[in-house]
Amino acid sequence: MAQTFALQSLLDVATSETDSAAASLGKLNHHVQLQEQKLALLLKYRTDYLDRFRRAVENGLDGAGLRNFNEFMERLEHAVHQQQAVVDEARQHADRGRHHWQLKRRKSNAFDTLSQRFTATAQRREANREQKAQDDFASRIACRKPAMGQ
């Protein structure tokens, strides 16, 4: 008689939750990458703008141009700081998602280990039952042979 693993439904739920947490973590990691790309773009733009400013200074920049540059750089720096905060928050969310996934994976692995032990125990019991049945059969045959020879 084949027994079923009593906690199979919990194993299935834990596996499903682990898969869901992994998918969520993938989305969070993708979001981090997108936000980091935006930050990198802003930083590149700032570097390019500083290079243009240096060239403009070499060619002679008037006061209005300097004032415009300073105002724009303030706005750009503000945007960089805001984007850095967005990146930091996205990383924190991803870290929490990673922790959540690890917890779900540990739980799933624990149920999987119990399932494997259950299966191994059931297989050993079945093998022992089969061996006992074979031994009993062989014993009965051995007991009948002398009776046949008489």
Q: How many domains does the chain have?
A: 1
Domain that holds residue 141: 8-149
| DSSP H/E element including 64 | helix 63-149
- Give the tokens for residue 127: 């093998």
Residue at 121 is within a domain: yes
Q: Which pTM was predicted?
A: 0.73
Residue at 2 is within a domain: no
**Which pLDDT tens digit goes with each residue over 42-73?**
999 999 999 998 998 888 888 888 899 999 99
Residue at 82 is within a domain: yes
**Which pLDDT tens digit goes with each residue over 86-116?**
999 999 999 999 999 999 999 999 989 989 9
Residue at 3 is within a domain: no
CATH code where residue 121 lies: 1.10.287.1700
Residue at 13 is within a domain: yes
